[in-house]
A and B are shown apart, each in its own frame.
Chain A
Amino acid sequence: EAGVVQSPRYKIIEKKQPVAFWCNPISGHNTLYWYRQNLGQGPELLIRYENEEAVDDSQLPKDRFSAERLKGVDSTLKIQPAELGDSAVYLCASSPIGQGSYEQYFGPGTRLTVT
């Protein structure tokens, strides 16, 4: 069974440019998470989807970040415009059910560098 797929793996952009990340979760997983991980820190949740509905986006900087999960399968996270402080690894994860007692399966992440 394929794991969580993310693309691209690496992205280097100049500040003020837009960037988009794509995630395809494990088949059948209703819950999809986007995390941001700064160097030397644990992941921080940006947004959680249950099927196509964003049920927890309280930590998503909505002035520049947006996300969508049309049809409740794959998802896209966008930053426009990017700032220097957005440099981080963006991780996507999926889970059969969105509860803390269920295992989350992580993708390889996208390492973003904003110059």
Chain B
Amino acid sequence: KNEVEQSPQNLTAQEGEFITINCSYSVGISALHWLQQHPGGGIVSLFMLSSGKKKHGRLIATINIQEKHSSLHITASHPRDSAVYICAVGETSGSRLTFGEGTQLTVNP
């Protein structure tokens, strides 16, 4: 069992829809990261959070430490949101990040 699991693996939505991507983890963490990766490989950090909720534009990230679960929400989705979204956790016991396998999001016009 992977230490970080994301669902769904693939998600197709119509423009304007509300999107949720989930991340569950099994280790103690110091922080959880949501990352975005566009075709071509570049990875951009969207959020880093250790409790509660953060919002940036149309993106919202939440985390429940007790349940070891985080969600990334995209409101009013747009085709330019099409990318791979990756959840990663920084473990309390070490210095490395452990990554999920990513969720491929496709938003159709």
Kindly state the separation between the CA atoms of A98 and B94 in the bound complex, as whole angstroms: 9
Query: Which of B40, B42, B91, B101 makes the CB contact (< 8 A) with A42?
Result: B101
Against B, the Cβ 8 Å flags (1 = close, 0 = not) of A60-103 are 00000000000000000000000000000101010000111111
- Tell whether, in the assembled complex, residue B50 and residue A101 are in contact, meaning their CB atoms are under 8 Å apart: yes
Contact of B66 with A by CB under 8 A: no
- Tell whether, in the assembled complex, residue B90 and residue A42 are in contact, meaning their CB atoms are under 8 Å apart: no
Majority-rule SS of B interface residues: strand
| Interface-side segment among B12-20, B27-35, B57-65, B72-80 | B27-35
Closest to A58 in B: B96
Residues of A within 8 A of B94 (CB): 100
Q: A100-B90, A103-B33, A106-B42 are in contact. Are A44 and B99 (CB under 8 A)?
A: yes
Q: Interface residue count for B (Cβ, 8 Å)?
A: 28
Q: A100-B89, A100-B95 are in contact. Are A41 and B41 (CB under 8 A)?
A: no
- Tell whether, in the assembled complex, residue A103 and residue B48 are in contact, meaning their CB atoms are under 8 Å apart: yes
Query: Which of B30, B86, B88 makes the CB contact (< 8 A) with A99?
Result: B30
